[in-house]
Chains A and B, each alone.
Chain A
Amino acid sequence: MSFVSSIKMLLTLRCEESTQLLSDGFDRDLSRCERWAVRLHSISCRPCRGVRKQFVAIQRAAQLRGQQPQPLDGPARQEIREAIQKQVESP
């Protein structure tokens, strides 16, 4: 990115772009310029400070949720067992 575009980005970031970068930050490394742009925006934008915390909460909760074990109950297991036993190659 050119020097002028970097400065432009740093100074004129809106919530839309800032939250996009916040989101990206979970999935890739942000450039130094991008990190500074988010910081500068956040200094004067309380809602986006809130959004950052909430994105973090959602990320953690989703990862936790994705790992939660849950056993199949007896009747459900039995139903699946029966379906397996009924399965035959169609002619």
Chain B
Amino acid sequence: MPSTEIDNLQQAALTWLDEHGDFLYGYALSRLGNQQAVAEDLVQDTLLAGMEGYARFEGGSSVRTWLVGILRNKILAHYRKEFRRNEILDGESFFNQKGHIQNVARWKDCPDEALGTAEFMAMLDACLSKLSPAAAAAFMMSIMDGMSTDEVCQQLEISPKNLSVRLHRARLAMRQCIQTQWLAGEA
């Protein structure tokens, strides 16, 4: 590649870093259980991948949307690689033989205002990191990203039924995990 084209690509990527770096970092951090080093790495990988793939970017969406798409895929890959060992939590039986749910406690002093606090967010972060890859992917895309069922199913290549089961398990696992943390905090 001629050196002027390389310069242009580097210039473009440096601009992306300026204009979108903070946004991408915040996006990654919130979906990676607040792991700063991982988030920094994935943002870097995203910008480098953007440089490599820029020729194929047709400009159909905004640059930010395009970069977020790349980053999202890298986060999904991270889940698949690093959250593999979490399968055990996801397989936990939340219901007894009669189909009744177990271990539901009242979260005392957990009003709406508590939800936005750093304390609650830290619990959310810790528990997200314990989800299985399948549950984390569904949780991120459907709930945090607010993507439609169709979009999520298309990207993950699963059926709507499969997605609904994943989200159910993800919500049950998060609820259980957060409850444990919340109750420990009350003590």
Binding site for B on A (CB under 8 A): 14-17, 19-20, 23-24, 26-28, 45, 47-48, 50-51, 54-55, 57-72, 76-77, 79-81, 83-85, 87-89
Contact = CB atoms under 8 A, between A and B. Distances in A.
Interface of B: 1, 6, 9-10, 13-14, 17, 21-23, 25-27, 29-31, 36, 40, 43-44, 47-48, 51, 95, 98-102, 104-107, 110, 112, 115-116, 120-121, 124-125, 139, 142-146, 149, 163-165, 167-168, 171-172, 174-175, 178-179
Contacts of A71: 22, 25-26
Contact of A84 (B14, B27, B143, B171): B14
A27 B149 contact: yes
A22 B30 CA distance: 25
B160 to A, nearest CB: 8
Nearest to A28: B149
By secondary structure, the B interface counts as helix
Given A47-B101, A87-B51, A58 B171 contact: yes
A76 B26 CA distance: 13
